[in-house]
Structure 1
Amino acid sequence: MEQFPADIHRFCDPQLPHGRRKELVQLLRNIDEMTCQKLQILFSFSVPNQEALTFVADLKQPVVSAGAGTGYWEYLLQCNGVDVISFDTNEVYPSEMRYSEILTSGPEILEQFPDRVLVLAWPDTDESSTFSLDCLRHFRGDTILHIGELLGETLSANQWGQSSSRDFQLTLAEDFCCLSRIKLPNWPGHLDSLTMWKRKSTQPVMCDGAHFHYVNTKCRVYL
C-alpha cells in the first residue's frame, strides 16, 4: 500500500478522469489477484490487530466463533488468553490450512453455548447467504462481536457491506445495541471494524413519557 500512488483511494471518484480511474482500478486488481486474495485465504478476510485482540481478551468471557474459516483470529485470541470454541461447515478449508481446532457444525450448535460471546467474522459469502441470520436465531447469549463491514461502512455498491446480509443486520439492530467499535486495518477496498453488541431487554420500559430498552452495559473492558 505504501508503494501505491497517493490517489489510489480515489479509484471510484467520479471527479477523477476516467483514464486515471482505470489505471488505479487495474493496480488494485493486480494486487488483489496476486497478493490480497491469497493472503485472505491463507489467513482471514478481516485483518486483526492487537487493540482488537486485547479488547476481546479484556471481556474476560469465553467465546464461540461461528464460521471460523482457517481459525486465524481464533488462534490469536487463544494466544491472548481467550477461551475459544470454533465451528464451521468445513466445506472450504482443509484441516492442514487451519490454525486452531474447528468443529464441524452448523448454527444450531450455538444453542449449546448460551454463556459464551458469539463472534461473527465475515460470516456471509454474499447477500443471499443466511448463515449469519441463522446464527442469530440459534444464539441464546447476550453479547455478539461482529467483525467486518456494516451498513454505510463500505466502499461496495451494496450499502450493507461485504460481510453480513441486510436481513442479519436489521435483525441485529432490532434485538441488540452496539456499544463499542474498533476500526481494523484493512485490505484494499475494505472498511472493516470490530463492533460489540449487547442484547436489549425484551420489553420497552416507560420512563417519564418515553420508552427505553434496558441494555446491560457492564463488561470488563479497558479502553
Structure 2
Amino acid sequence: MVKQERAARTRAALVKAAAAEFDRNGYDGTSLARVSKAAGISMGALTFHFSSKGALADTVQEEGRALMRAALKQATSRPAPALQTVVTVSLALTGLVEEDIVARSAVRLVRERSEADFWTDIWLPTVRRLLEEASAHGQLRDDALAADVAALAEILTAGAEAHVRRLLDTGTRHGSATAQLERAWRLALAGVCAPAGAGKVPAAMARAQSQGPETGAMPCFAGCEHDGDEGGLGSR
C-alpha cells in the first residue's frame, strides 16, 4: 500500500511538472530531461511511469479532458434558463483554462499535436442543444438562429482561450480573460436576446459581475424574461 501511494504521488508530480513544461515550452520544446528536473524525480523513475514524451503528453491530455468534462457537468447541473447556462459554460471553461495548468496545457497539446479539437468537442454539442432549447422557449430573437449563436459561443470561448495564452506569453499580470469574456457576452446578448428584454441584459450582467467571480454567481439575464410567457427564460 505504501509503495502504491508513493507511486501515485510520483506519477501525479510528473504529470503536473510535464503540464507546466508543455504549457510553457510547447510539445516540441519539452524534453523528458526537463520534466525530470522540474519534478525533482530521476529519469529512471520517470521512464518507469511514462515510456516516452508522447505517453506523458497523452496523460496530460486525458487529465485535461476529465477536468473539462467535470467543469461542463457542474456548469450545467444548476437549474437555470438555457441561454444563461450557455454563458455559464463558456465562462466556466475559460476560468478553468485560465486557472488550471493541466487543462490549459491539454488545450495547447491538442493544437500542437494536430489532433481532433477535443476542446470544442467536449462542450460544443451541449451548447448547441441548449441553444436549440433557448430558441424553442423564445429566449432568442427571431432572427438569431441557434446555430449562429452556437458559432458565436464557439468564437467567443475559443478567443478567450487565445487571450489567456497571450496574457501568459507576454507576461501580462493585469486583466482576466474570464472577465473580458463576460464583458463580451454582455454585448453579444444585447443582440441575440428576445427584444422584450434585450435592453436590460447589461444591467443583469453588471449585477452578477459586481458579486465577483469567486462567488460562482453568473448573469441572471432577468432582462430576457417574458412576463407571463411560459416560453421565457424562467422555463426550461
TM superposition score normalised by structure 1: 0.29
Q: Which has the higher helix share?
A: 2
TM-score, L = length of structure 2: 0.28
Specify which structure has the bigger relative contact order, considering alpha-carbon pairs within 8 angstroms and separated by 6 or more residues: 2
